[in-house]
């Protein structure tokens, strides 16, 4: 099969240039996917299906941004550094419909999926059938890469363990901005155009069930905003933006059951707003509920990578048994 022959040639070239057990570190910007597909297919309905699947809207942002940036190149250009891309989708016509998933084929870490089909309709069907799995695997790969980059310069003196008996891997640029009397702490880092913020707080165990009701979850979130996140004006504080309903789903964070909520926040009686991501987590170790909240204020700029940074931080969660007296 021509497709497999092409893959074999690429692999053979990589082996000729380095020891057989050596694979370079993968490269590329976070949330970027290299799509290897010939130009005629890219310009056809197949290309549209690829863009609809993997450059669809990132949920919970005030402006439209794609979940991934796509970088297309034809097969003849797939050599050298391009093989070291961290996420690769190869698509080509062949005499057999097939979908192959591989890890670390040309570099480490690397996710690669190869999709072949006898015609455009078959290829599009394979994309539709497998897109959720592909997105999930790419996103996991990118979370791990983002966490690796954060660890290079992470916040060493992290007060979360002493304060809340939990830990998060955060960039060193985050500083404690505000502490509550107990059970709540606010970290913040400044950007060129605003701030990125992390709130962590503990709640009674029964509050976890509020994740089953969006209205109850919003009430819980807004009560914390009113008491702990004031605005610039008198009687101004953070609330969930009323014009847009947040997106909520069940998930797991750090091995614990959780509810993930994405949406936009605003300041009541003021004119500031931005996206947020929240995890309500059932801490079975300490029989309590943990809320991890991230929100961004960055007007007139793209915010996908800032929210993704917060998601990567929260998914590094570790919870410890509370010591007596804490």
Task: For 189-236, write each residue's pLDDT tens digit.
Answer: 999 989 999 999 999 999 999 999 999 999 999 999 999 999 888 889
Percent of the chain with pLDDT over 70: 93
pLDDT in tens, 297-308: 999 899 999 999
Sequence-separated contacts (24+) of 48-54 with Cβ below 8 Å: 49/123, 49/124, 49/127, 49/128, 50/89, 50/91, 50/127, 53/127, 53/128, 53/131, 53/134, 53/135, 54/89, 54/131, 54/134, 54/135, 54/138
pLDDT, tens digit, for every residue of 115-164?
999 999 999 999 999 999 999 999 999 999 999 999 999 998 878 998 99
Question: How distant, in Å, are the alpha carbons of 19, 184, 189 from that of 1?
Answer: 27, 60, 53
Instruction: From 117, 85, 78, select the one nearest 99 (Cα to Cα).
Output: 117
Ramachandran region, residue 44 (left: φ > 0; alpha: ψ -120 to 50; beta: rest): beta
Beta-ladder partners of 188:
175, 197
pLDDT in tens, 64-81: 999 999 999 999 999 999
Sheet holding 111-117, edge to edge: 69-73, 32-36, 87-93, 111-117, 98-103
Q: Which of 51, 141, 52, 133 is nearest to 99 (CA)?
A: 133
**Residue 272 burial (C-beta neighbours within 10 Å; 0-12, 13-18, 19+):** middle
Residues paired with residue 154 on neighbouring β-strands, in sequence order: 171
* Model pLDDT, residue 233: 85
Give every CB contact of residue 22 below 8 A, 6+ residues apart in sequence.
Answer: none
Letter string b/e over residues 10-48, b meaning 16 or more CB atoms within 10 A of that residue's CB: beeebeeeeeeeebeebebebbbbbbbbbeebbeeebbe
Q: Please check the confidence at residue 2 and state whether its pLDDT lies above 60.
A: no
**Local confidence band at 271 (pLDDT 50, 70, 90 cut-offs):** confident
Q: For residue 116, with 0-12 CB atoms within 10 Å meaning exposed, 13-18 middle and 19 or more buried, which class applies?
A: buried
Give the chain's end-to-end CA distance (angstroms, integer).
Answer: 65
Strand partners, 195: 190, 297
Phi, psi of 52 (to 5 degrees): -65, -35
The pTM of the full predicted model, rounded to 2 decimals, is 0.91
Which of 164, 121, 108 minimizes the C-alpha distance to 322?
A: 164
Would you state the torsion angle of the CA atoms of residues 298, 302, 305, 307, taken in this order, to the nearest 10 degrees? 50
List of domains in the chain = 2-151 (3.30.379), 156-319 (3.40.1000.10)
Predicted confidence (pLDDT) per residue in 169-178, tens digit:
999 999 999 9
User: What CA–CA distance (Å, rounded) separates 50 from 43?
Assistant: 11
Token code pair at residue 290: 């943990």
The span from the CA of 52 to the CA of 35, in Å, is 13
Task: Please give the pLDDT value at position 278.
Answer: 97
For 324, other C-beta atoms within 10 Å of its C-beta total: 4
> Counting beta carbons within 10 angstroms of the beta carbon of residue 125, is it exposed (0 to 12), middle (13 to 18) or buried (19 or more)?
middle
Mean pLDDT along residues 101-120: 96
R_g (Cα) of the chain, nearest Å: 22
Measured CA to CA, the distance from residue 63 to residue 326 in angstroms comes to: 42
The pLDDT score that the predictor gives to residue 20 is 56
- Per-residue pLDDT tens for 179-191? 987 789 999 999 9
């Amino acid at each position: 099969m021509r497709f497999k022959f092409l893959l074999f040639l690429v692999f053979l070239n990589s082996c000729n240039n380095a020891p057989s057990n050596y694979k370079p570190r993968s490269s590329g910007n976070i949330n970027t996917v290299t799509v290897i597909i010939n130009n005629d297919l890219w310009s056809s309905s197949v290309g549209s299906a690829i863009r609809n699947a993997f450059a669809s809207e990132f949920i919970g942002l005030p402006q439209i941004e794609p979940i991934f940036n796509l970088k297309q190149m034809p097969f003849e250009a797939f050599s050298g550094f391009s093989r070291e891309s961290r996420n690769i989708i190869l698509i080509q016509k062949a005499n057999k419909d097939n979908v192959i998933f591989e890890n670390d084929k040309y570099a480490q870490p690397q996710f690669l999926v190869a999709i072949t089909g006898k015609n455009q309709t078959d290829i599009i069907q394979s994309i539709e059938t497998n897109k959720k799995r592909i997105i999930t695997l790419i996103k996991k790969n990118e979370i791990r890469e983002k966490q690796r980059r954060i660890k290079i310069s992470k916040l060493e003196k992290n007060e979360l363990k002493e304060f809340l008996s939990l830990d998060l891997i955060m960039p060193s640029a985050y500083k404690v901005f505000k502490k509550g009397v107990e059970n709540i702490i606010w970290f913040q880092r400044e950007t060129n155009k605003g701030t990125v913020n992390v709130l962590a707080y503990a709640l009674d165990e029964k509050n976890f069930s509020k994740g089953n009701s969006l209205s109850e979850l919003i009430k819980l979130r807004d009560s914390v905003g009113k008491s702990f996140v004031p605005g610039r004006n008198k009687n101004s504080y953070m609330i969930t933006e009323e014009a847009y309903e947040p997106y909520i789903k069940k998930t797991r964070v750090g091995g614990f059951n959780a509810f993930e909520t994405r949406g936009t926040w605003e300041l009541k009686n003021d004119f500031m707003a931005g996206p947020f991501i929240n995890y309500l987590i059932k801490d079975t170790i300490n029989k309590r509920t943990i809320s991890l909240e991230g929100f961004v204020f960055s007007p007139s700029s793209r915010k996908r990578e800032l929210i993704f940074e917060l998601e990567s931080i929260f998914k590094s969660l570790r919870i410890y048994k509370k010591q007596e007296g804490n």
